Structure 1
């Protein structure tokens, strides 16, 4: 049954939406989408009523994000420029009012106007929202987050300029609204009670002397310039009639009376739907602008000294400092892919994904999202830390793996379900949901970062005892009677939690492999013990997979595929996406670590998935009933490593498009991915499922990390680091990427060999020649260039002819080569 405030919010939203022709109301974009295609079906497993699901925004979780690197709280930016500090109890939105005509112009309801939104630049987390009314008034809103004052506390600054694009004189009121509901919803209240985001505004007050708003017990917006008018609205009579909120609102007062109430304080103990509006007059003409700056104190502020510190720096200085920081960080530090004009947008998105991971880092903990996923998972963070280290943000990766992973290492003597507590990596998420993949992920990430850091850093040595060796022993000792990891719910995309999943075993193998190799590198005595554990898990996993494959053949299955686990024989659905991890990120195909037959089956599984579950992107209808952006990237990466760059490129194309979805000519997201991409948004409402779907956070840190790793490995990736170390150059660069005389390049990129690598590849289409100049390169590492332009005719390295027979399109180049040329047919 819906709680009172959930029911009230639902009623007020749809009544305001239905009555928008008479009195416009800033109904958020996500609520509009839900109301335009309403369904009483909802996720009853998560919510206890349709109103609770609606108030939680369960279907359309799309927004932009701004934040400060390594600070705790992010702020969301809605499609109309609404700003929602995640843990504060309000949302700030701007609109225009013309007192002469009584016309209220809201960017949420364009009414003949237009709204455009973009980031100021791909490397700048600054959101620009441009709203132009039907009668030719325009405001541009610039929103960014920045540290302020000596203590470098968080604040969001939003700067709104009003102008007349036609040059005609225009006057009216610029208005700012403080509302309870924001881009993420009104209140997330689910059955498990663990994920509650309560945005109810039960008390709202404006303090004119301080030009500051109080929201419940916290601080709201602080205005640089005092508003001319204001009005604060609530429910003083404790009415349970939803029409009270529709009739008694600042928007109705402006339309009907042309002015606001002037009240400075209000309460609403029924639904928490207090609201307020503040106005500033403008008169603009050609080359004239009116500007209002507002500061949102995102961090903890209290007292007059904090208010003075928040206001001390001019907004111009804060904006300039923000631009300087991100420009230096993302354009001059870390990996800088150089891609030709047809695919230059991939570099832009690479930088944006880096910024999102840096913002999602909370003092070294990378969180996979800003709201419901704003906490630390071993699983997500292992991929995120690895991506950061290979993109050049090694300090963040080192802090996460070296400081925060040990804090998640359990030392108790109790039990977690069927498993021992001691030696298990995980906090509440991993323990409560039996996420048995976490030990393999921790060991894998530690081992990979030890390789990248180089021997002189001794990163793995510092963590080896107890975090590596005892974490490996946990994998050895906590398995079921078949030698596999127990049933659990390591990731909801794998299927049910009461079944075992090969995903866990694959991660366990990769973690044990890295642990054994680390032990070899540092000369630890446990090398035989760790290899024995690896071999034991390998034998059990391979035997189980062979049994499943044989059983499916016995039942008459004509397609070869590895299902999500041994308890799902014959289950041909999208949960088999877990098998993509065999290739990426685990590289178990290198050296056929589970055997040639399993390797072939894993390759066939990719093709089975592609045939059944790819329509542009990967459709995960078995668990999410939505597209999976990061799952699409995993599949693309698996194809890249498995030697099918054509399919990798096709999937990458969908990934890039899905980062910038639009509906009704409005930008829905600005270069980021949800955990799930809803079918209605992906199709501009041409496809609306007949059952509910699941939506996670945006930006999704795991997805951002997958993109960084995919683009990086398209440019180059390492192979066989421990026996015959070599490096693939431009393995995923497609011919249409590189027009005549254009280049692909990367400089001083970190590698798993502990030394940087760089190269420049230039295409001469007329001569049918590719020239590659090697920059920095790891010692003793040979190169392989898979020529994608055509059959290889000849190759020359440093003036010496190379043997190109018997290798197909692969050109094998000796270690130490500085330059080579390849001609193709």
Structure 2
């Protein structure tokens, strides 16, 4: 697999939702790829999504759009600009959210129609289709109106036909509103018109106007979300609101710890993704919940939350991340489990790993000791699961491993699957090592024995159940029982169609995470090498592994790219990790948001799974960037292990400021000069209670590095050993051959 290291969104999904709201905003307003506003997400089933209110915009014209483009004003400012090009004119929609000092939340669409120069004139305006069941969208009467209301259909009185078309009507704004305020149009008034496709929906347009070639018309649509007063809402107010929204985002401290990389496109992704994470966040019961998304995944998710909270720490939101622990602890149950979904039995192990990771990043050994009884109870719960597995008949597929469970990430239903034992190994290993550090010898011995026994059972089980790829290389199958190959439904009684059939790479997410950051398996372990072999076979078409999740037919789980990239980095192939970083970015929409899963472009299928913006994806991109620069490998701390070759040029700067690690905050600033000379400043905190057993720097082999005018020796694989001191400055020359 090879890929250009250019971010151009070449694999952007055909359907996208972009969030325009504020941080912690309960009004998660979304803009579709066509510029429509989407409100009130609802799902009939997980495969049938809809929004209670959809507001679509188009040109009053007989022509269909030629093409549509969409972007945000900048990575930092979520003002969504949708440009819809028609044969005779261009309609531009500038959509954003506004929050005033009184807490009034408003969505605003500033629209402009630019008629092409070569056109004589056209009769046109802005067309609006409004879809919501059970309501009529209208003014106070049939008259052209600036204020539009949602009137329950049983309370709407249609006008007399003859009077409606042959009488001059003027809206009487002193009449009480007939329903809830939906929008205010300024300065144009809106009139009823035919809906697109003559659907049973509300349809309005600005009063049509003849516009000559080269001329424009423009206006504002103002949508109050939590108030009914329309006084003062005019076009001037809308432009003031735009300036205030821009100023808010330009001043908001998205990156509370400095992150700088020399590729502007990657840097823009990091900034936008930090914003996406905060836009999806919500305060619930006093806790800041780092939510995966604004629609189908709007809430706390245990595995997603592990990585979202880690990235919150990386971005400098330490206290919010620690409050996330408190939110997680709401799901502690009397049996010791820590789970949001009882059938998702791996959640207890994930929660153990989360509690330990958060306390180590904050240096809060006191907090870990406080949480230790919770962790021990979760370990006891896991031991109970293991006892259940041991009690299964000896010929049962899960005997000696784990009871049937929900796999997730490509394996549905409760069945014999490997994601649960893999994450359980991760959690037990983390707990055993934490007990050893805390000096809890008895607990350490107990949990270490749990881990070693499960690992031995896992290896034996895999040896019995592993299968072979066509080239003869072994792989761990996604399920090992007789539940069949349907990816959602165990025991599916019909012939499994190809689009529903489990693949060798299905649900390898947990194996990736057990490898790193779990470090359950060493880089040279055959389990790791076989997974990388499989991954390398399936990443050619779009640069990231295909068919790894809930869409097993010609599709990608976008942020699985990060899971696999981290395994490549751990196993000594940073070049593959960097390639995946760029290919992963190219699966986002130009507004820098991802769908969870989508079809390969060549398939022309349009399959989709999961939320959008999907902020586990946002977190994973930030994680790759951080870990290419600072990587924790057991008790070793590595600097620049994945420094991309395309980031090495005169004037390039790579900087992380106090990025948290288990060994304390690390700062580094690499400045590249002419002829690949470099200046590298490094700072750490030797007073931090936990020190690395090794501290090392990777540079392309053949680089020269000097510390206090003393040449440092480089290993054949590119490493320089460094002293663990408060600060140091290195200078030298970089050889060619970055990651």
So what's the TM-score if we normalise by structure 1? 0.71
Deviation at 1:629, TM superposition (A): 0.6
Task: Give the number of the structure whose residues are more often helix, by fraction.
Answer: 1
Partner of 1:791: 702
Deviation at 1:719, TM superposition (A): 2.9
Partner of 1:607: 533
**Which residue, out of 677, 680, 688, partners 1:772?**
680
Does residue 325 (structure 1) correspond to residue 248 (structure 2)? The answer is yes
The one-character-per-residue Cα deviations of 1:599-624 (angstroms, maximum 9, x if unpaired) are 33223322223224653221116741
**Which residue, out of 48, 57, 75, partners 2:29?**
75
Partner of 1:134: 87
- Aligned to 2:415, the other structure's residue is in SS state coil
**Which residue, out of 230, 239, 247, partners 1:316?**
239
Report matched runs for 1:208-227 at 5 Å.
211-214=147-150, 216=152, 219=180, 221-225=182-186, 227=188
Partner of 1:93: 56
- 8 Å CA contact 2:538, 2:544 repeated in 1: no
Deviation at 1:499, TM superposition (A): 2.8
Does residue 675 (structure 1) correspond to residue 601 (structure 2)? The answer is no
Partner of 2:498: none
Deviation at 1:559, TM superposition (A): 1.0
The one-character-per-residue Cα deviations of 1:565-609 (angstroms, maximum 9, x if unpaired) are 5549999711262321123332334xx4xxx88x33223322223
Deviation at 1:716, TM superposition (A): 1.3
Partner of 2:655: 745
Structure 2, unmatched stretches of 5+, are 1-12, 42-50, 154-178, 391-398, 486-501
Deviation at 1:438, TM superposition (A): 0.8
User: Could you say if the C-alpha distance between residues 710 and 531 of structure 1 is closer, same or farther in structure 2, counting changes exceeding 3 Å?
Assistant: farther
**Which residue, out of 609, 632, 637, partners 1:727?**
637
Partner of 1:487: 404
CA distance in 2, matches of 1:487, 1:459: 34
- 8 Å CA contact 1:483, 1:537 repeated in 2: no
- Aligned to 1:355, the other structure's residue is in SS state helix
- 8 Å CA contact 1:757, 1:778 repeated in 2: no
Deviation at 1:639, TM superposition (A): 0.6
The one-character-per-residue Cα deviations of 1:490-518 (angstroms, maximum 9, x if unpaired) are 4142x243433332223223323434455
CA distance in 2, matches of 1:582, 1:658: 25
CA distance in 2, matches of 1:556, 1:288: 64
Deviation at 1:654, TM superposition (A): 1.4
Deviation at 1:348, TM superposition (A): 0.6
- 8 Å CA contact 1:94, 1:175 repeated in 2: yes
Which deviates the most, 436-445 or 564-573? Answer: 564-573
- 8 Å CA contact 1:82, 1:93 repeated in 2: yes
CA distance in 2, matches of 1:378, 1:560: 31
**Which residue, out of 319, 335, 339, partners 1:426?**
339
CA distance in 2, matches of 1:228, 1:821: 67
CA distance in 1, matches of 2:412, 2:452: 24
User: Could you say if the C-alpha distance between residues 168 and 572 of structure 1 is closer, same or farther in structure 2, counting changes exceeding 3 Å?
Assistant: closer
Deviation at 1:172, TM superposition (A): 4.3
Structure 1, unmatched stretches of 5+, are 1-58, 98-102, 181-198, 233-248, 254-271, 412-421, 661-668
Deviation at 1:454, TM superposition (A): 2.1
Partner of 2:156: none
Partner of 2:294: 370
Partner of 1:509: 425
Deviation at 1:78, TM superposition (A): 1.7
The one-character-per-residue Cα deviations of 1:477-498 (angstroms, maximum 9, x if unpaired) are 22211453322224142x2434
**Which residue, out of 406, 411, 414, partners 2:329?**
406
CA distance in 1, matches of 2:468, 2:113: 71
Does residue 639 (structure 1) correspond to residue 593 (structure 2)? The answer is no
**Which residue, out of 446, 470, 473, partners 2:380?**
473
User: Could you say if the C-alpha distance between residues 66 and 462 of structure 1 is closer, same or farther in structure 2, counting changes exceeding 3 Å?
Assistant: farther
- 8 Å CA contact 2:112, 2:217 repeated in 1: yes
Does residue 617 (structure 1) correspond to residue 528 (structure 2)? The answer is no
Partner of 1:157: 108
User: Could you say if the C-alpha distance between residues 377 and 311 of structure 1 is closer, same or farther in structure 2, counting changes exceeding 3 Å?
Assistant: farther
Partner of 1:177: 128
Deviation at 1:210, TM superposition (A): 7.6
- Aligned to 1:115, the other structure's residue is in SS state strand
Does residue 354 (structure 1) correspond to residue 354 (structure 2)? The answer is no
The one-character-per-residue Cα deviations of 1:626-668 (angstroms, maximum 9, x if unpaired) are 21111122111211122101211222221121113xxxxxxxx
Partner of 2:581: 652
Which deviates the most, 533-542 or 72-81? Answer: 533-542
CA distance in 1, matches of 2:323, 2:232: 30
The one-character-per-residue Cα deviations of 1:729-772 (angstroms, maximum 9, x if unpaired) are 2211221221234232222323333x332212233563x54432
The one-character-per-residue Cα deviations of 1:763-783 (angstroms, maximum 9, x if unpaired) are 3563x5443222455655563
- Aligned to 2:125, the other structure's residue is in SS state strand
CA distance in 1, matches of 2:26, 2:236: 22
- Aligned to 1:81, the other structure's residue is in SS state coil
CA distance in 2, matches of 1:580, 1:705: 16
Partner of 2:724: 815
CA distance in 2, matches of 1:329, 1:516: 40
CA distance in 2, matches of 1:368, 1:478: 28
- Aligned to 1:620, the other structure's residue is in SS state coil
- 8 Å CA contact 2:660, 2:666 repeated in 1: yes
CA distance in 1, matches of 2:603, 2:197: 36
- 8 Å CA contact 2:124, 2:211 repeated in 1: no
Deviation at 1:310, TM superposition (A): 8.2
Partner of 1:338: 260
Deviation at 1:369, TM superposition (A): 2.4
So what's the TM-score if we normalise by structure 2? 0.78
Deviation at 1:702, TM superposition (A): 1.5
User: Could you say if the C-alpha distance between residues 252 and 401 of structure 1 is closer, same or farther in structure 2, counting changes exceeding 3 Å?
Assistant: closer
CA distance in 2, matches of 1:641, 1:132: 47
User: Could you say if the C-alpha distance between residues 651 and 375 of structure 1 is closer, same or farther in structure 2, counting changes exceeding 3 Å?
Assistant: same
